[in-house]
Amino acid sequence: MKIKRYGIMGGTFDPIHFGHLVAAEEARAVLGLEYVFFVPSGRPPHKKERPITKAEHRYLMTVLATATNPSFKVSRVDITRPGYSYTVDTISAFREMLGPDCELYFITGADAILQILSWKDVDRLFASCYLIAATRPGYDLSQLRASFGASWQRYSDKIKTLEVPALAISSSEIRRRVAAGEPIRYLLPESVVQYIYKHGLYGAHRQVKGCI
Ligand code: ATP
Ligand code: MG
């Protein structure tokens, strides 16, 4: 029997954008994933320096963005678990839910993976899932290897890289554009654009330059 594979895409999703969606879809197609679960984080441990938009808004934007893809699901596990959101705890929750007989693939940007050695319980994390590092086409893999140093041998079997084309988009750039009254259309799904303006997120009270 073929072992089922599931993708898990964790993130702040403040807001979700086409970079996230393209990476998830590419991972689904290349790895033959049954589903990709998008998991908006509750309190991200690495983003303490700026206020994060309410979890309910981030969750709803993620639902809107993924609604048309039958292979995408959104999970509330990190939002409902108290305390900081650590990847190792997210993976344990999915392992419990999906059982021992499947493979889990945690999808993340190569930039985030560079700091992985500082994540909580790295050994336990690598024991329970694979890591998919989304990279820009032409990305220099030696950077990834160098960041692991001597630990590369230990973990390299569990790390796969995946080239995705939409990597220049980031949530921080979208927030900056909204606050500056610059357009954000075509960087993220239209439903999410409308949600941002409807709820006045990221200082979206000003009129977008060039729009009627
Ligand atoms: P911010 O700019 O606030 O850091 P972000 O765009 O990086 O936001 P996150 O919610 O922090 O979005 O990212 C969730 C996951 O998606 C992370 O693993 C991140 O590396 C990855 N990611 C972010 N942007 C892209 C992109 N354009 N293509 C592929 N993966 C991405
Ligand atoms: Mg980021």
Paired tokens of 70: 């039958």
Ligand index nearest the alpha carbon of residue 85: 1
Q: What is the pLDDT of residue 208?
A: 59
Ligand index nearest the alpha carbon of residue 110: 1
**What is the percentage of the chain residues whose pLDDT exceeds 70?**
94
- Mean residue pLDDT of the chain comes to 89
pLDDT per position as a tens digit, 12-49: 999 999 999 999 999 999 999 999 999 999 876 766 67
Tell me the CB-side half-sphere exposure of residue 31, using CA atoms within 13 A. 32
d(CA 17, CA 171): 7
In the reported structure, the alpha carbon of residue 170 is separated from the centroid of ligand 2 by a whole-number distance in angstroms of 7
Pocket probe mutation, ligand 1, options 39, 52, 170, max atoms within 8 Å of Cβ: 170
Pocket lining: 113 vs ligand 1, CB cutoff 6 Å: no
Pocket lining: 52 vs ligand 1, CB cutoff 6 Å: no
Q: Which residue has the tokens 């930039």?
A: 111
- Average pLDDT score over residue span 108-137: 84
In the reported structure, the alpha carbon of residue 15 is separated from the centroid of ligand 1 by a whole-number distance in angstroms of 10
pLDDT per position as a tens digit, 79-115: 998 888 788 999 999 999 999 999 999 999 887 777 7
Task: Band the pLDDT of 131: cuts 50, 70, 90.
Answer: very high
Domains of the chain: 4-169 (3.40.50.620)
**What is the percentage of the chain residues whose pLDDT exceeds 90?**
64
pLDDT per position as a tens digit, 184-208: 999 999 999 999 999 999 999 755 5
Decide: 22 and 164 in contact? Cβ < 8 Å.
yes
